[in-house]
């Protein structure tokens, strides 16, 4: 099959997701990463709607992208005015975009109830808007909004809107499942029917309200669409858009359909995590292909089979998409999980080795107390090194104190005072923070910064607390999970105790020590 072109709308549709707000610089950085991986079209936003998007188009026009063309988005002209009088269309002329995407009403219900105009006027609006831009020299795509709902309601009129766009000079008509309510069989059959009636290329744009946006997009391609619109990680309004990451992987690996250069396939995991970080949205562990749990194995039977042949419980080699296999250490994994994790750390253990049994018993005892090492691999690595007596402490705690104070101003302040020794040198520092754990984190870093400057490059990115036994009330044991990251990696650590401060301290110390251990390994080649 010929090349399928990818149209990314993370910077517009994706930015409409609850919790996401991109700065101009954020959008520039994402666009640069999309260009690196080989996305054909990047929709930058709607220049007629806000100053931020206008600034983005101005700045992105100065960059020399290697693979991608920048698209500007807008709607058809307003009813009963000429295209040359419409402010949204005029803003497109100033955008310096290489491609224009125009969205128009396809559903007669929307024309009558939302636009409050006639069906004939809507057809004229579609034609005039596209033709105006084509005559200005732009490559124009047409997004047929709510197309599948429209086609169900009135096939003749829905088709007329596509023909109006085609006759006006657009190069691609993109069929949109705007409400995300269509099922795969409907998408497939409709594309096949439309394919023979439209001369220009067909695209697909799916939302995920029914949980099948990826499947619908792939079915559309198999039915004849040669452009797919979507967002990185499926970000978007309501339930999100079709996830381009999974779509690319399925197209390239499963369907053998070209869409990005072969060499860039391994960058999918990086791209997914990069956009997640810029979006300030935690990537789901279960994210297909690129999530931390996508190739994670916990059950002993699974782990044993994976050791013999990874295909037993994996649908593809994780390295194809830049991910990795993870063997989770838990009481369910038995000695096999311990051995595999030890192998990753370059420790030569066997099933009959007393150390293996010792580590397994330690894991089982700690999990009985509430530890959960499959969620905290960094803590497990430190645990294993300590058990094998291969861990050298980076510092020794002499004590800490946390003070929480609420004054007449009703403002709550937290301060941590910490005493520790580093290579025999005593450090005594204090720091404030937004809460007791943040104060402890700040105080620990302050005490260690002169000895380990690299700590300035890491930060805590997530903090979770779970009560393990609600019936115990305020005396209940709590589990604290901390996620940390630096410019290269993300890692998780754990602490469990009846006192939330102590549980947090355990996880915090593991996080800092793992960072130092990791940097030491990269420096001297140790693990």
On the CB side of 78, CA atoms within 13 Å amount to 6
Same domain membership, residue 405 and residue 311: no
Under DSSP, the state recorded for 139 is: E
CB distance 402 to 360 below 8 Å: no
CATH number of the domain within which 487 lies:
3.30.160.270
Could you tell me which of 166, 100, 162 has the C-alpha nearest to residue 133?
100
Domain extent at residue 437: 396-524
Does 285 fall in a domain?
Answer: no
Distance CA 420, CA 447 (A): 8
Does 291 fall in a domain?
Answer: no
Both structure tokens of 81: 């005015």
Does 457 fall in a domain?
Answer: yes
Does 288 fall in a domain?
Answer: no
DSSP 399-428: EEEEEEEE-TT--EEEEEEEEEEETTEEEE
Same domain membership, residue 382 and residue 335: yes
Same domain membership, residue 359 and residue 312: yes
User: Looking at residue 358, what is its pLDDT?
Assistant: 85
Same domain membership, residue 466 and residue 408: yes
29: CB partners within 8 A, 6+ apart: 278
Torsion sign, CA atoms 258, 262, 264, 269: positive
Could you tell me how far CA 256 lies from the centroid of its own chain?
24
Q: Which residues of 196-214 are buried (b: 16+ CB within 10 A; e: fewer)?
A: eebebbbbbbbbbbbebbb
* Per-residue pLDDT of the chain in tens (527 residues, 90 and over written 9): 579 999 999 999 999 999 999 999 999 999 999 999 999 999 999 997 889 999 999 999 999 999 999 999 999 999 999 999 999 999 999 999 999 999 999 999 999 999 899 999 999 999 999 999 999 999 999 999 999 999 999 999 999 999 999 999 999 999 999 999 999 999 999 999 999 999 999 999 999 999 999 999 999 999 999 999 999 999 999 999 999 999 999 999 999 999 999 999 999 999 998 898 888 887 888 999 999 889 988 777 777 787 788 888 899 999 999 998 877 665 555 666 677 777 777 777 877 888 888 888 888 788 778 887 766 888 988 888 888 888 888 999 999 999 998 877 778 889 999 999 998 899 999 999 988 999 999 999 999 999 999 999 898 888 888 887 655 555 678 889 898 988 888 888 999 999 999 999 999 999 999 999 888 755 433 33
Same domain membership, residue 413 and residue 327: no
Both structure tokens of 505: 């301290």
Both structure tokens of 87: 């402010």
CATH number of the domain within which 40 lies:
3.20.20.70
From the CB of residue 136, how many other CB atoms can be counted at a distance below 10 Å?
Answer: 13
Same domain membership, residue 425 and residue 359: no
Same domain membership, residue 190 and residue 76: yes
Same domain membership, residue 479 and residue 368: no
Q: Which residues of 59-69 are buried (b: 16+ CB within 10 A; e: fewer)?
A: bbeeeebeebe
Does 368 fall in a domain?
Answer: yes
Does 287 fall in a domain?
Answer: no
Which of 342, 365, 387 is a domain's end point? Answer: 387
Which of 387, 405, 438 is a domain's end point? Answer: 387
Does 289 fall in a domain?
Answer: no
User: Looking at residue 185, what is its pLDDT?
Assistant: 97
Same domain membership, residue 452 and residue 311: no
Same domain membership, residue 404 and residue 322: no
User: Looking at residue 1, what is its pLDDT?
Assistant: 56
Which of 224, 250, 278 is a domain's end point? Answer: 278
Same domain membership, residue 418 and residue 374: no
407 to 333, 410, 416, 439, 440: CA distances (angstroms): 51, 5, 17, 18, 21
User: Looking at residue 523, what is its pLDDT?
Assistant: 47
Does 50 fall in a domain?
Answer: yes
User: Looking at residue 490, what is its pLDDT?
Assistant: 84
Number of structural domains in the chain: 3
Same domain membership, residue 231 and residue 104: yes
């Amino acid at each position: 099959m010929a090349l399928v072109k990818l149209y990314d709308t993370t910077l517009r549709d994706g930015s409409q997701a609850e919790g996401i707000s991109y700065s101009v610089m954020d959008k520039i950085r994402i666009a640069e990463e999309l260009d690196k991986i080989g996305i054909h079209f990047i929709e930058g936003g709607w220049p007629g709607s806000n100053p931020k998007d206008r600034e983005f188009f101005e700045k992105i026009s100065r960059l020399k992208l290697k693979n991608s063309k920048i698209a500007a988005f807008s709607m058809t002209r307003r009813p009963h005015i000429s295209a040359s009088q419409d402010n949204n269309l005029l803003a497109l002329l100033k955008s310096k975009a290489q491609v224009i995407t125009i969205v128009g009403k396809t559903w007669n219900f929307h024309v009558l109830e939302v636009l409050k105009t006639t069906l004939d006027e809507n057809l004229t609006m579609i034609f005039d808007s596209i033709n105006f831009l084509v005559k200005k020299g732009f490559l124009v795509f047409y997004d047929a909004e709510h197309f599948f709902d429209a086609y169900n309601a009135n096939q003749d009129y829905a088709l007329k809107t596509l023909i109006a766009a085609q006759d006006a000079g657009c190069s691609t008509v993109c069929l949109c499942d705007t409400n995300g309510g269509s099922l795969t069989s409907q998408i497939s059959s409709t594309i096949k029917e439309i394919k023979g009636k439209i001369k220009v290329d067909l695209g697909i744009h799916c939302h995920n309200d029914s949980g099948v946006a990826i499947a619908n997009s792939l079915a559309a391609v198999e039915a004849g669409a040669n452009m797919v619109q979507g967002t990185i990680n499926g970000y978007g309004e309501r339930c999100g858009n079709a996830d381009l990451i999974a779509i690319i992987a399925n197209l390239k690996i499963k369907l053998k359909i070209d869409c990005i250069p072969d060499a860039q396939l391994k960058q999918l995991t990086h791209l997914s995590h990069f956009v997640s970080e810029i979006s300030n949205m935690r990537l789901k562990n279960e994210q297909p292909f690129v999530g931390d749990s996508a190739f994670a194995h916990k059950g002993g039977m699974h782990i044993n089979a994976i050791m013999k042949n990874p295909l037993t419980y994996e649908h593809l080699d994780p390295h194809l998409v830049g991910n990795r296999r993870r063997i989770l250490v838990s009481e369910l994994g038995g000695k096999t999980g311990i051995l595999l994790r030890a192998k990753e750390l370059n420790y030569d253990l066997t099933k009959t080795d007393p150390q293996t049994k010792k580590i397994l018993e330690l894991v089982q005892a700690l999990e009985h107390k509430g530890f959960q090492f499959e969620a905290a691999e960094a803590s497990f690595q430190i645990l294993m090194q300590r058990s094998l007596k291969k861990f050298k402490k980076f510092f020794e705690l002499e004590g800490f104190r946390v003070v929480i104070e609420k004054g007449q101003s009703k403002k709550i302040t937290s301060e941590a005072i910490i005493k520790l020794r580093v290579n025999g040198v005593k450090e005594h520092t204090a720091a404030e923070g937004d809460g007791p754990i943040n104060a402890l984190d700040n105080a620990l870093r302050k005490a260690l910064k002169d000895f380990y400057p690299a700590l300035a490059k890491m930060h805590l990115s997530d903090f979770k607390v779970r009560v393990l036994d609600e019936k115990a009330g305020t005396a209940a044991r709590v589990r604290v999970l901390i996620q940390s990251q630096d410019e290269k990696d993300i890692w998780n650590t754990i602490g469990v105790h009846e006192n939330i401060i102590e549980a947090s301290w355990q996880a915090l110390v593991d996080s800092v020590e793992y960072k130092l251990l990791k940097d030491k390994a990269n420096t001297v080649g140790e693990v």
